[in-house]
C-alpha cells in the first residue's frame, strides 16, 4: 500500500468522516411518517407532541425524571447557566470543544481554565479545588469522548464550596459512571444531538435533571422567559426544539442499540489492527463505565512513530481519511481566550501535551474489518516511510 501523500491512489474513494449522521433506511421511513403526523396536526414547534415524546424517551433512557429539549447543546448550556443566575468565574476544562467555554463567556461569566486527568481526559478535581476563588460560582465538567468525569470527587467539592455543578454530556448519550447513568449528576447535565453525534436530531440538545423546579425554569427560559401567556418573568431566549428535529430523534432511537454495537466492534477492530504500530495508542473507551464508543481516540507519540500528529493528519486526509484533532488547541490557547487581559491561566501541562498528541479516527466505516485494517496499514506505512512523509508535509506547508 502506498499512501496518497507518497503518490499512491487515495486509500478511500469516499471521505471517511469522524462524526456522521445515523440514517438507516428505516430511520427515513419513520421520520417521514412522523413528519406527516406533524403536518396533519399543523403543529411544527413550540413544545409540540413529538418534542414531548422525545423528552420522555430520553429521560427514561437515562433514568432521570426531567428532560428539557433545546435547539442545540450550546444553547442548552446557556440556559442552565442562566437558570442559576450565576456570576463571576466558572471553572471549565480547556480540553473541550470551544462551545463549553463560549457558553460561559456569552453569559458574561469568566472561564477559569482547568487541566484534565491523563487517564480519562476529564477535568482534574484536584486542580478544580486549587482554582476555587471567592468569585467562583460553578464548575462545568465535560464527559470527554463519553468518559464520565470523576463525579464523586466533584460532588464533594461542590458541596463543600457551595457551588453549582453542570456537566457537558455532549458526547455521553447513554454513558455511565460504573452502573450510574449520566443524567442525574450535578445540578444538571446537557446532551448534544448534533448531526455528528451518537444520537442526532439534525441540530438539537437536551438538559437532564432530577429537579422538577429547575426543569420548569429551564422550560420558561427556552421560551423567551414566558411563564404562561403574556407573562414574562425572566430574561429568556428562543432555545426551542422543532417538531422536525424531534421527529428525527424519535425515528433514530430504535437504531441506537445496533449503532452502539457496531461502534464497539469498530473500536475493537481498530484495537487489534493498530496494536503493532509503534507510537500509536488507541485510548480506552468507557474508562468510567458504559460507553457509546462514538469517538475513536488515538494518541500519537511522535518520537516513536516518527511523524508528528499534525503531519499524520495531513497524510491521512490525502487518503480521504478525515481524522480530526479533537480537541486542538486547548481553549486557553485559542486567540479569543489567549488574548484576554489578566494573568492568564494557570499552567495546563496535560491539556497542552494531550492536545498536541490526540486525534479522532473515522468511525463511519462501511466494512468495519477491512476498513480498519486499511487505515491501520496506512498508519504502518506512514511510520515506515516517516522521513519522506515528513519532508513532503513540510514542503507542502511551504
Ligand atoms: N460540548 C462538547 C464537548 C461538544 O463536542 C460540542 C459539539 C458541544 C458542547 C456543542 O454542541 P452543539 O451546540 O453543536 O449541539 C462538530 C459539531 O458541529 C459539534 O456539534 C461537535 N461538538 C464537534 C466536536 O464537532 P465540527 O466543526 O468539527 O464539525 P464538521 O462540520 O467539521 O463535521 C465533522 C465531520 O462530520 C466531518 O468530517 C463531516 C461529517 N459530517 C458533518 C455533518 C454536519 C457528516 O458526515 N454529516 C453532517 O451532516 O464540529
| Every domain of the chain and the residues it spans | 4-21+255-397, 25-254
Q: Rounded to an integer, what is the distance from CA 12 to the centroid of its chain?
A: 26
What's residue 341's pLDDT? 60
The mean per-residue pLDDT over the stretch 346-365 comes to 94
User: Looking at the chain, which runs of residues are DSSP E strands?
Assistant: 66-70, 89-93, 110-114, 136-142, 164-168, 176-177, 180-181, 188-192, 205-209, 280-282, 296-300, 358-361
Instruction: Examine the pLDDT at 274 and tell me if it is beyond 80.
Output: yes
Bridge partners, residue 116, by sequence: 123
Is residue 19 within 6 Å of ligand 1 at its C-beta? Answer: yes
The atom number, within ligand 1, closest to the CA of 74 reads 13
Contact 126, 157 (CB under 8 A): no
Is residue 322 within 6 Å of ligand 1 at its C-beta? Answer: yes
Instruction: Examine the pLDDT at 48 and tell me if it is beyond 80.
Output: yes
Q: Report helix, strand and coil shares of the chain as percent, to nearest 5.
A: 45, 15, 40
Q: Which of 79, 97, 147 to mutate to test the pocket of ligand 1 (most atoms within 8 A of CB)?
A: 97
Instruction: Examine the pLDDT at 261 and tell me if it is beyond 70.
Output: yes
- Residue 382: CB atoms within 10 Å: 25
Instruction: Examine the pLDDT at 346 and tell me if it is beyond 90.
Output: no
230: left (phi over 0), alpha (psi -120 to 50) or beta: left
What band does 339 get if pLDDT is binned at 50, 70 and 90? confident
For ligand 1, atom 47, name the residue with the nearest CA: 20
Is residue 337 within 6 Å of ligand 1 at its C-beta? Answer: no
Instruction: Examine the pLDDT at 283 and tell me if it is beyond 80.
Output: yes
What's residue 342's pLDDT? 64
Is residue 170 within 6 Å of ligand 1 at its C-beta? Answer: yes
What's residue 270's pLDDT? 98
DSSP count for the chain of H helices, then E strands: 15, 12
What's residue 343's pLDDT? 63
Is residue 196 within 6 Å of ligand 1 at its C-beta? Answer: yes
Instruction: Examine the pLDDT at 238 and tell me if it is beyond 80.
Output: yes
Is residue 243 within 6 Å of ligand 1 at its C-beta? Answer: no
Cβ-based burial of 395 (10 A; exposed 0-12, middle 13-18, buried ≥19): exposed
In angstroms, what is the span from residue 196 Cα to ligand 1's centroid? 5
What band does 24 get if pLDDT is binned at 50, 70 and 90? confident
What's residue 45's pLDDT? 97
Instruction: Examine the pLDDT at 396 and tell me if it is beyond 80.
Output: no
The mean per-residue pLDDT over the stretch 224-247 comes to 96
Per CATH, 4-21+255-397 and 25-254 having the same topology is answered no
Q: Which of 147, 194, 297, 323 to mutate to test the pocket of ligand 1 (most atoms within 8 A of CB)?
A: 194
Is residue 302 within 6 Å of ligand 1 at its C-beta? Answer: no
Is residue 195 within 6 Å of ligand 1 at its C-beta? Answer: yes
Query: CATH classification of 25-254 is 3.40.640.10, yes or no?
Result: yes
Instruction: Write out the DSSP string of 72-86.
Output: -HHHHHHHHHHHTT-
In angstroms, what is the span from residue 276 Cα to ligand 1's centroid? 31
Is residue 21 within 6 Å of ligand 1 at its C-beta? Answer: yes
- Please give the mean pLDDT across all residues of the chain: 95
What band does 25 get if pLDDT is binned at 50, 70 and 90? confident
For ligand 1, atom 8, name the residue with the nearest CA: 99
- Residue 390: CB atoms within 10 Å: 18
For ligand 1, atom 7, name the residue with the nearest CA: 97
The mean per-residue pLDDT over the stretch 145-156 comes to 98
What band does 394 get if pLDDT is binned at 50, 70 and 90? confident
Instruction: Could you please state the CATH topology (level 3) that the domain comprising 4-21+255-397 is classified under.
Output: 3.90.1150
Cβ-based burial of 133 (10 A; exposed 0-12, middle 13-18, buried ≥19): exposed
The mean per-residue pLDDT over the stretch 157-181 comes to 98
Instruction: Examine the pLDDT at 264 and tell me if it is beyond 70.
Output: yes
Instruction: Examine the pLDDT at 2 and tell me if it is beyond 80.
Output: yes
pTM of the predicted protein model: 0.97
Question: Rg of the chain over CA atoms, in angstroms?
Answer: 22
Is residue 192 within 6 Å of ligand 1 at its C-beta? Answer: yes
State the cell numbers at 375.
487505515
Task: Decide which of 346 and 335 is more confident.
Answer: 335
Instruction: Examine the pLDDT at 323 and tell me if it is beyond 70.
Output: yes
Amino acid at each position: 500500500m502506498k499512501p496518497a501523500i507518497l503518490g499512491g491512489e487515495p486509500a478511500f474513494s469516499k471521505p471517511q468522516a469522524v462524526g456522521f449522521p445515523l440514517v438507516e433506511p428505516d430511520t427515513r421511513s419513520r421520520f417521514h411518517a412522523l413528519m406527516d403526523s406533524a403536518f396533519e396536526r399543523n403543529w411544527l414547534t413550540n413544545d409540540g407532541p413529538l418534542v414531548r415524546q422525545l423528552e420522555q424517551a430520553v429521560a427514561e433512557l437515562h433514568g432521570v425524571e426531567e428532560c428539557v429539549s433545546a435547539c442545540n447543546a450550546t444553547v442548552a448550556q446557556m440556559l442552565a447557566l442562566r437558570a442559576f443566575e450565576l456570576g463571576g468565574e466558572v471553572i471549565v476544562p480547556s480540553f473541550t470543544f470551544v462551545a463549553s467555554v463560549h457558553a460561559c463567556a456569552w453569559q458574561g461569566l469568566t472561564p477559569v481554565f482547568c487541566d484534565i486527568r491523563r487517564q480519562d481526559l476529564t477535568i482534574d478535581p484536584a486542580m478544580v479545588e486549587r482554582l476555587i476563588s471567592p468569585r467562583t460560582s460553578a464548575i462545568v465538567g465535560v464527559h470527554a469522548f463519553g468518559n464520565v468525569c470523576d463525579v464523586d470527587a466533584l460532588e464533594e467539592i461542590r458541596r463543600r464550596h457551595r457551588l453549582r455543578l453542570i456537566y457537558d454530556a455532549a458526547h455521553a448519550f447513554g454513558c455511565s459512571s460504573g452502573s450510574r447513568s449520566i443524567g442525574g449528576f450535578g445540578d444538571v447535565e446537557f446532551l448534544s444531538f448534533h448531526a455528528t453525534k451518537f444520537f442526532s436530531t439534525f441540530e438539537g440538545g437536551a438538559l437532564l435533571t432530577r429537579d422538577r423546579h429547575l426543569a420548569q425554569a429551564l422550560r420558561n427560559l427556552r421560551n423567551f422567559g414566558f411563564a404562561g401567556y403574556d407573562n414574562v418573568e425572566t430574561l429568556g431566549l428562543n432555545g426551542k426544539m422543532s417538531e422536525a428535529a424531534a421527529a428525527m430523534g424519535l425515528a433514530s432511537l430504535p437504531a441506537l442499540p445496533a449503532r452502539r454495537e457496531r461502534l464497539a466492534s469498530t473500536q475493537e477492530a481498530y484495537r487489534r489492527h493498530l496494536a503493532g504500530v509503534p507510537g500509536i495508542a488507541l485510548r480506552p473507551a468507557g474508562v468510567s463505565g458504559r460507553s457509546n464508543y462514538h469517538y475513536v481516540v488515538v494518541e500519537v507519540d511522535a518520537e516513536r512513530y516518527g511523524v508528528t500528529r499534525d503531519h499524520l493528519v495531513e497524510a491521512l486526509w490525502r487518503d480521504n481519511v478525515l481524522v480530526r484533532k479533537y480537541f486542538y488547541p486547548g481553549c486557553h490557547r485559542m486567540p479569543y481566550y489567549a488574548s484576554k487581559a489578566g494573568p492568564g491561566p494557570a499552567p495546563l501541562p496535560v491539556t497542552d501535551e494531550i492536545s498536541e498528541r490526540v486525534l479522532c479516527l473515522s468511525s463511519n466505516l462501511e466494512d468495519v474489518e477491512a476498513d480498519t485494517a486499511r487505515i491501520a496499514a496506512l498508519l504502518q506505512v506512514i511510520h515506515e516511510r516517516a522521513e519522506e512523509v515528513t519532508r513532503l508535509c513540510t514542503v507542502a506547508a511551504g
